[in-house]
């Protein structure tokens, strides 16, 4: 089973700043890495699939990069609605589907 490790656990930033979130896989997942956003009290929402492709309706300030074992989610300029928890997930070696433990992006 592939283990995904996200860092940092919590990221404190201000609106307008750039956010960089990391996800590292215990073995290569090629480019098959997915990102989700979860706001308090809501279900997760698909954000980025296959490392760098934005899902339908996702603003251009969200971008993903990486391949193999190291991946990054970047939010270029934080909006108030972007403060949430972000999860990565690999889709190459499944089942089981495995998620990272999440990064909480909070307002500084």
User: Interface with other proteins by CB under 8 A: which residues?
Assistant: 32, 34, 36, 38, 42-46, 49, 55, 87, 89-92, 94-102
CB closer to other proteins, 16 vs 41: 41
Burial bucket for residue 42 (CB in 10 Å: 0-12, 13-18, 19+): exposed
Tell me how far, at minimum, the Cβ of 16 lies from other proteins, in Å.
28
Tell me how far, at minimum, the Cβ of 14 lies from other proteins, in Å.
25
CB closer to other proteins, 44 vs 68: 44
Residue 3, preceding peptide bond in cis (omega within 30° of 0): no
Tell me how far, at minimum, the Cβ of 77 lies from other proteins, in Å.
26
CB closer to other proteins, 19 vs 29: 29
CB closer to other proteins, 53 vs 77: 53
| HEC-encoded secondary structure of 29-59 | CCCCEEEEEECCCCCCEEEEECCCEECCCCC
Q: Are 86 and 105 in contact (CB under 8 A)?
A: yes
User: Whole-angstrom Cα distance, residue 11 to residue 33?
Assistant: 21
């Amino acid at each position: 089973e592939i283990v995904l490790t996200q860092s940092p656990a919590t990221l404190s930033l201000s609106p307008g700043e750039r956010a960089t979130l990391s996800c590292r896989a215990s073995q290569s997942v090629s480019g098959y890495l997915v990102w989700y956003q979860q706001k308090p009290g809501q279900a997760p929402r698909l954000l980025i699939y296959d490392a760098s492709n934005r899902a339908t309706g996702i603003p251009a300030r969200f971008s993903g990069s990486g391949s193999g074992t190291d991946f990054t989610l970047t939010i270029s300029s934080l909006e108030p609605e972007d403060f949430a928890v972000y999860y990565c997930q690999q889709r190459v070696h499944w089942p089981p589907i495995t998620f990272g433990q999440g990064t909480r992006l909070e307002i500084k």
